[in-house]
Amino acid sequence: MSAVTLLLLFFIFVLSAFLGFELINKVPSQLHTPLMSGTNAISGIAIVGAIVCVVLPPGSLSMILGFLAVVLATINVVGGYMVTNRMLCMFKDKKGGK
């Protein structure tokens, strides 16, 4: 990989950081918990890296670590999105009821 390609990755890294700061300006406190658990689910994106490792030769250390990582990241992703959805539905139901 050339230095230019690497710098491109840094470029998207820096832009993402600024975007992350800007995206959640002035979030009402009501949404703090769902926002936290929703972004927490996104941090389960490590699942992508874990999948790449789990398909390595079965029985190798990398594959075993990858297997554990896939399990953990999937718990993070599935649990995170479902629990966030559960919370947000509570907010929504209440609105519909009124």
Partner 1 sequence: MSVFLASTQIFPLPAEWVSFFYIICSALFIFGIKMLGKVQTAARGNTVSAVGMALAVIVTILDRQVFGAGKEAFLWLGVALAIGAAIGMLIAKKVKMTAMPEMVALLNGFGGLASFLVAWAEYARALGYPSIAQYLADNAAFNAGFFAVSTSLAVFIGGITFTGSVLAFLKLGEFVSGRPFLFPAQKLINLLLFVACVAGTVIFALNPEGAYAREIFYALMAISLLLGFTIVLPIGGGDMPVVISLLNSLSGMAACAAGFILMNNVLIVAGTLVGASGIVLTVIMAKAMNRSIGNILFSGFGAQGGAASKQSGGELKPISLEDAYYILESANNVVFIPGYGMAVAQAQHAVKELAGILEDNGAQVRFAIHPVAGRMPGHMNVLLAEADVPYEQLWEMAKINPTMPQVDVAIVIGANDVVNPAAADDPASPIYGMPIIKANEAKTVIVLKRGKGTGFSGLENQLFVLAHTRMLYGDAKNTLTQLVAQFKE
**Residue 27 found at the interface with partner 1 (CB under 8 A):** yes
**Residue 95 found at the interface with partner 1 (CB under 8 A):** yes
Binding-site string for partner 1 from residue 48 to residue 77, where x marks contact by CB under 8 A and - marks none:
xxxxxxxxxxx-xxxx-xxxxxxxxxxxxx
Shortest distance in whole angstroms from residue 60 CB to partner 1: 7
**Residue 4 found at the interface with partner 1 (CB under 8 A):** no
Amino acid at 21: F
Contact status, residue 74 vs residue 47, Cβ threshold 8 Å:
yes
**Residue 96 found at the interface with partner 1 (CB under 8 A):** no
**What's the chain's Rg over C-alpha atoms?**
18
Q: CA-CA distance, 37 to 76, in Å (whole number)? A: 10
